[in-house]
Structure 1
Amino acid sequence: MTDPHSIVSQIGDLAQNGERMIERLRKRAFLPESRKGLNVRFGIAEAAQLLDCSTNRIRMAEEDGRLPPPPAGENGRRLGYTVEELLNMREVLGASPRRAENDVPAMIAVQNFKGGVGKSTVTTHLAHYFAVQGYRVLVVDCDSQATTTTLFGFNPHFNITREETLYPYLSIDPTQADLLYAVMRTPWPNVDLIPSNLELFDVEYELAAAGADGESVLAARFRKLKQGLNDLARNYDVVILDPPPALGTISLAVMQAANALLVPLAATTPDFCSTVQFLSMMDQVLQQLIEAGVQVDYSFVRLICSKFDPGDPSHDMVRAIMEQSFGPALLPVHILESAEISHAAMRMMTVYELEKPIGTARTHKRCKANLDEAMGQIEQLVRNGWGRVENVDEELVVNG
């Protein structure tokens, strides 16, 4: 008979070995400083496109001193603009997309109970897309697996303590009265992060052990998370929430705190079936929350197909099934399966952080164009919520 202690020890060894390897990969990815940086730059044509102005307008602002010109390399060529410089250009040229003071910040939960659908990948790419477009973004990692935290360059095991997660705010015996303590700067000047690690799962244990008083404690935690996030959201345009892929206390609190829901799903039959189950469970849970007096209100609920391979007939078949089932709730532009996304993830990055293509220039350009179009659908939904519909075509795309 196998000694159970030896099995536990073996699993512990595997976990430790894996954590050490993650740290080695992180250091290799972020050499020489072993800390993630943001070195991506934008040429003047791309900057003009992002600001929706002419290149001539940017050059004129540089010539009259309103904008500093970008530095030149050793060959004398302009190196391009950093994200920080783009943000300054938006302010100087009046091209900021920020919400008005009376606009409600978008609080988007990216959720599906099925693993492997690219939930954290969608979360991070969406955050970086909004950042490039000039919005102020807060990402809240509510998942104890902490994949999103890792993609932002932090090792949850070595770099993040329990006191830096949501735990001190949501625990049975809270030590924090608001969430300001948990907000971390990221390499992106307009993206902040509330990180996570495995110890956040202790909240689930504590609330499960609350006994007869559990329901009142649970309702209090729902209200508390929503209030804490609403207080923080005053300083942001978009808050993106990455909840655990399971129907637990934290997931329910996140779903109640959000004011929009984005459901990623892959183009496979198991993913479709799992997503239908997720929607059915969400329907039942939200009905119970409403009956219990817990307010739930979403400005939009949309599904987005991720990891879509247009060359795979089975993907086309499942996509057709999705379109018949979900109608206009399924966003028309899918996130295509791309080696560029996978290669960037190996470096703990998104495609928006790459200084140059990892694969071919054509593959990178196609991937980024697809991501821009897919994420742009969500941006337009957010702007619709603020009463800003740019043109008829975009409205038709969003509303099917």
Structure 2
Amino acid sequence: MHSDMDRIGDLAEAGEKMIERLRRKAFLPESRKGLNVRFGIAEAAQLLGCSTNRIRMAEDDGRLPPPPASENGRRAGYTVEQLLRMRGVLGASPARADADEPAIIAVQNFKGGVGKSTVTTHLAHYLAVQGYRVLVVDCDSQATTTTLFGFNPHFNVTREETLYPYLSIDPTQSDLGYAVKRTPWPNVDLIPSNLELFDVEYELAAAGADGGSVLAARFRKLRAGLADLARDYDMVILDPPPALGTISLAVMQAANSLLVPLAATTPDFCSTVQFLSMMDQVLRQLGEAGIAVGYDFVRLICSKFDGNDPSHAMVRQIMEQTFGSALLPVSILESAEISHAAMRMMTVYELERPIGTTRTHKRCRANMDEALGQVEQLIRRGWGRVAPASEEAVVNEAA
């Protein structure tokens, strides 16, 4: 006869099998996630900051391949991979210069349910659409970000494929290259996670009298490993655990920028204030221990905001009064399209067509572009640049 304790394991096993069934259903026929989203010529021109005529001319003179055509003879739209090739040909790549420091952004809040993994994955895909090279590092043993990228952390990811072999007490890897996986996005890579990554926390907690020095060594090691990997990317996005543990502390020290998502509710506001207070104390203690921490920017972003809810508007106003310019002006709106995409283990940037109404999808996508574009501008400002001006903007300014 099973006890309630035994049932916990049974429930976990049943849940893991259901996740795999959902993954297989979502990613048929190969049970593997793909990227089928396409961009029409007008949207491609907007993303490249040029005119549609310039794209057509490049196709006519052979600098770009002929336009993709569907069965009915109409343009089928460009893939992300084709957009990247077009950026190279047309000189429209936003990539950082060699002298620019890669942005290493920790998306962190100790309060669960604020949309941390949703912000992480959408930010990665937004930046990918803009043409940047992105590395996402899932540092959270709950592995939600890994799941959203199409990997089942229980069936598809082993402990040896996570940060564990690099951060453990007895490491078997001297750099992080072993852990980098390709994703369906040609310019986004992932270091995945799974539940076994939590073993790092146990090991360091059991380090005994030498725990402090071991911990400091792990902090420096993660920072060095990520800095080494970052040379091949424009941005690195870190998704740490929603708790003040060893890995979270290491991520704080490895990042050079901090993005704090919080929902527009009083409990989330109060929890985030406590998080910031705790962060302040921890960073001071790290500094006193000789572990340097510095951020190019620290910003809060309001997530899951419902503009039709008066309580959300009130809490948003409280946020503005409290955090001032540290709160990004554009919130991420609550949208059924985000929820529908998540059910398919996707972001709104991966949807081939709207799941809800076209209007809802367009509104959600436009809001995501505007909200996450704020982060892009902070990064580019750190490089001493603003967003590249489109040909249309240059012409209008000249007029």
The TM tier, using the shorter chain, reads over 0.9
- Report the secondary structure of 1:90's partner residue: helix
1:371-390 map, 5 Å:
371-390=368-387
- Report the secondary structure of 1:305's partner residue: strand
Assess if the C-alpha contact under 8 Å between 2:49 and 2:388 holds in 1. no
Q: Note if 1:321 corresponds to 2:318.
A: yes
Q: Note if 1:212 corresponds to 2:206.
A: no
Pick from 144, 147, 157 the counterpart of residue 144 of structure 2. 147
- Aligned partners of 1:177, 1:390: CA distance in 2, in Å? 37
Assess if the C-alpha contact under 8 Å between 2:135 and 2:188 holds in 1. yes
- Aligned partners of 2:287, 2:40: CA distance in 1, in Å? 50
Q: One-letter code of the match for 1:137?
A: V
Q: Note if 1:13 corresponds to 2:1.
A: no
Q: One-letter code of the match for 2:29?
A: P
> Cα offset for 1:208?
0.1
> Cα offset for 1:73?
1.2
- Aligned partners of 2:72, 2:96: CA distance in 1, in Å? 41
Q: One-letter code of the match for 2:89?
A: V
Q: One-letter code of the match for 1:14?
A: L
- Report the secondary structure of 1:193's partner residue: strand
- Report the secondary structure of 2:236's partner residue: strand
**Matching residue of 2:245:** 248
Task: After superposition, give the CA deviation of every residue in 1:18-67 in whole Å (9 maximum; x if it has no partner).
Answer: 00000000001001110000000000000000000000000000000000
> Cα offset for 1:70?
3.0
**Matching residue of 1:395:** none
- Report the secondary structure of 2:3's partner residue: helix
Q: Note if 1:198 corresponds to 2:198.
A: no
1:98-177 map, 5 Å:
98-177=95-174
> Cα offset for 1:6?
2.0
Assess if the C-alpha contact under 8 Å between 2:94 and 2:388 holds in 1. no
Q: Note if 1:297 corresponds to 2:268.
A: no
Percent identity, aligned pairs only?
Answer: 85
**Matching residue of 2:69:** 72
1:15-54 map, 5 Å:
15-54=12-51
Structure 1 unmatched runs, 5+: 393-400
**Matching residue of 2:396:** none
Structure 2 unmatched runs, 5+: 390-399
Pick from 264, 279, 283 the counterpart of residue 276 of structure 2. 279
> Cα offset for 1:344?
0.1
Q: One-letter code of the match for 1:253?
A: A
- Aligned partners of 2:342, 2:385: CA distance in 1, in Å? 34
Q: Note if 1:365 corresponds to 2:389.
A: no
**Matching residue of 2:218:** 221
- Aligned partners of 1:107, 1:390: CA distance in 2, in Å? 19
Q: One-letter code of the match for 2:8?
A: I
- Aligned partners of 1:250, 1:391: CA distance in 2, in Å? 36
Task: After superposition, give the CA deviation of every residue in 1:259-293 in whole Å (9 maximum; x if it has no partner).
Answer: 00000000000000000000000000000001111
- Aligned partners of 1:341, 1:133: CA distance in 2, in Å? 20
Assess if the C-alpha contact under 8 Å between 2:143 and 2:153 holds in 1. yes
Q: Per the alignment, do residues 142 and 56 of structure 1 end up closer, same or farther by CA in structure 2, a change over 3 Å counting?
A: same
**Matching residue of 1:261:** 258
**Matching residue of 2:333:** 336
> Cα offset for 1:391?
9.1
Residue-pair matches, total: 389
Assess if the C-alpha contact under 8 Å between 2:110 and 2:275 holds in 1. yes
Q: One-letter code of the match for 2:61?
A: D
State the TM-score, normalizing by the size of structure 2.
0.96
**Matching residue of 1:349:** 346
- Aligned partners of 1:278, 1:123: CA distance in 2, in Å? 19
> Cα offset for 1:85?
0.2
Task: After superposition, give the CA deviation of every residue in 1:332-384 in whole Å (9 maximum; x if it has no partner).
Answer: 00000000000000000000000000000000000000000000000000000
State the TM-score, normalizing by the size of structure 1.
0.96
- Aligned partners of 2:344, 2:293: CA distance in 1, in Å? 38
**Matching residue of 2:397:** none
- Aligned partners of 1:160, 1:390: CA distance in 2, in Å? 37
Q: Per the alignment, do residues 179 and 391 of structure 1 end up closer, same or farther by CA in structure 2, a change over 3 Å counting?
A: closer
* Runs of 4+ more than 4 Å apart: none
**Matching residue of 1:398:** none
- Aligned partners of 1:391, 1:100: CA distance in 2, in Å? 14
- Aligned partners of 2:210, 2:67: CA distance in 1, in Å? 60
Q: One-letter code of the match for 1:261?
A: L
> Cα offset for 1:69?
2.3
Q: One-letter code of the match for 1:32?
A: P
- Report the secondary structure of 1:149's partner residue: helix
- Aligned partners of 1:59, 1:76: CA distance in 2, in Å? 16
Task: After superposition, give the CA deviation of every residue in 1:70-101 in whole Å (9 maximum; x if it has no partner).
Answer: 32111111100000000000000000000000
Q: Note if 1:188 corresponds to 2:185.
A: yes
